[in-house]
C-alpha cells in the first residue's frame, strides 16, 4: 500500500472491510475512506462501486449500518465509501451547523472563501480518490458505478450526469434532487459557490439532466414517510424533468419508510442488483 494508513480491518462475508487514512492533496487534509474487498478480489480484479453518504455522516455510517458487505460479496464488487467533507481544517464556522461545513461537503468545488482552499469534494470523488483506489487495489479499469443517500444521492446523480462515460450505473436513496430550490441546497450553494445562482446550475441535477449526453438509467428509492420529503428532497420534480427529456428513471415510493439507514438497508439488495447488472456483464 502506498500513501495509505490502515485504520481498521474486519472480516465480513468472506471478504474484508477496511478503513484507510490518506493525505488528500485536493482537500489539503487527512481523509478517511472505507473500502470493502469481496472474496473474489483475492483472485481477480473486481468492478468498483462508490457510495456517497449524507449530511453529518462519516465513512462509518454506511459500512456499519447499510448491510452492504453481503451483497458486495455476492456480486464481487469493491465498495468505496469516502467521508463527506474535509475535517479539522480550522475554517471559521466549519462546525457551527450540521448542514454546512464539517460533514456537509455537498460534493462540489467551493469557489468562495474561506471554503475554497479545502472544500473540493467534487474533485476528490471524481479524480483523486479513484486514482488512489486504482493505485492500491485490483480493480477492473473503467468499470464502476456510483450511488448514495440524501446529500450523497444528490452527489451521485450530479456527478454521473456531469461525467458521461465515467460510470456504468447510478442510483440513489432519498436524494436532494432539486438543490437550487430547497433550503439545504440553497444554504450550501450560497456559502460554497456565492450569490450568483447561475453558478449553482453546474451542480443541479434538474438542470444537468436537460443536457445529459448519455442515458444512464437512474434508480431512486424514496420513503413516503420521509420527514424531509416535501421540503428538502422533491423527487417528483426531478422525475418530471427526466420525463420532459425522455431520460430513463425509476422512482420507487416505499410505503412507511423514513430517511434513516433502516430504510437504506431494506432496499440495499435491490440497488446492488441494479449496479451488478451493469458492472458484471460478461
Active site residues: 150, 226, 259
In the numeric block, the cell 420513503 is attached to 223
- Torsion 185-102-98-91 (CA) sign: negative
Neighbours of 11 (CB within 10 A): 9
Query: 117-133 b/e with 16+ CB inside 10 Å = b?
Result: ebbbbbbbbbebbbebb
Which secondary-structure segment (H or E) carries 253?
Answer: strand 249-254
Helices and strands counted in the chain (H then E): 10, 9
Task: Tell which residue, 169, 157, 150, 278, has the closest CA to residue 206.
Answer: 157
Contact call for residues 105 and 85 (beta carbons, < 8 A): yes
Q: Rounded to the nearest 10 degrees, what angle do helices 261-279 and 68-75 cross at?
A: 10
Task: Give the integer Cα–Cα distance in Å for 57 and 152.
Answer: 10
Question: Strand 169-173 and strand 139-149: pairing?
Answer: parallel
Amino acid at each position: 500500500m502506498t500513501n495509505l494508513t490502515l485504520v481498521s480491518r474486519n472480516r465480513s462475508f468472506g471478504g474484508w472491510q477496511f478503513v484507510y487514512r490518506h493525505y488528500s492533496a485536493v482537500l489539503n487534509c487527512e481523509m478517511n475512506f472505507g473500502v470493502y474487498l469481496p472474496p473474489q478480489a483475492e483472485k481477480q480484479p473486481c468492478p468498483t462501486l462508490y457510495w456517497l453518504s449524507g449530511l453529518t455522516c462519516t465513512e462509518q455510517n454506511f459500512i456499519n449500518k447499510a448491510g452492504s458487505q453481503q451483497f458486495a460479496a455476492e456480486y464481487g464488487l469493491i465498495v468505496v465509501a469516502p467521508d463527506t467533507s474535509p475535517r479539522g481544517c480550522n475554517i471559521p464556522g466549519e462546525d457551527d451547523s450540521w448542514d454546512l461545513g464539517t460533514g456537509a461537503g455537498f460534493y462540489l468545488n467551493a469557489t468562495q472563501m474561506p471554503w475554497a482552499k479545502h472544500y473540493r469534494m467534487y474533485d476528490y470523488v471524481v479524480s483523486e480518490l479513484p486514482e488512489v483506489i486504482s493505485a492500491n487495489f485490483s480493480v477492473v479499469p473503467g468499470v464502476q458505478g456510483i450511488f448514495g443517500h440524501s446529500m450523497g444521492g444528490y452527489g451521485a446523480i450530479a456527478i454521473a450526469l456531469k461525467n458521461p462515460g465515467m460510470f456504468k450505473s447510478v442510483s440513489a436513496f432519498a436524494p436532494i434532487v432539486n438543490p437550487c430550490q430547497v433550503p439545504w441546497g440553497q444554504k450550501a450553494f450560497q456559502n460554497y459557490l456565492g450569490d450568483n445562482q447561475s453558478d449553482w446550475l453546474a451542480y443541479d441535477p434538474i438542470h444537468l439532466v436537460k443536457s445529459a449526453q448519455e442515458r444512464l438509467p437512474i434508480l431512486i428509492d424514496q420513503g413516503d414517510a420521509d420527514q424531509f420529503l416535501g421540503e428538502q428532497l422533491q423527487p417528483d420534480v426531478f422525475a418530471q424533468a427526466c420525463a420532459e427529456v425522455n431520460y430513463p428513471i425509476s422512482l420507487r415510493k416505499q410505503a412507511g419508510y423514513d430517511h434513516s439507514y433502516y430504510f437504506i438497508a431494506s432496499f440495499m439488495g435491490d440497488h446492488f442488483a441494479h449496479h451488478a447488472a451493469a458492472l458484471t456483464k460478461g
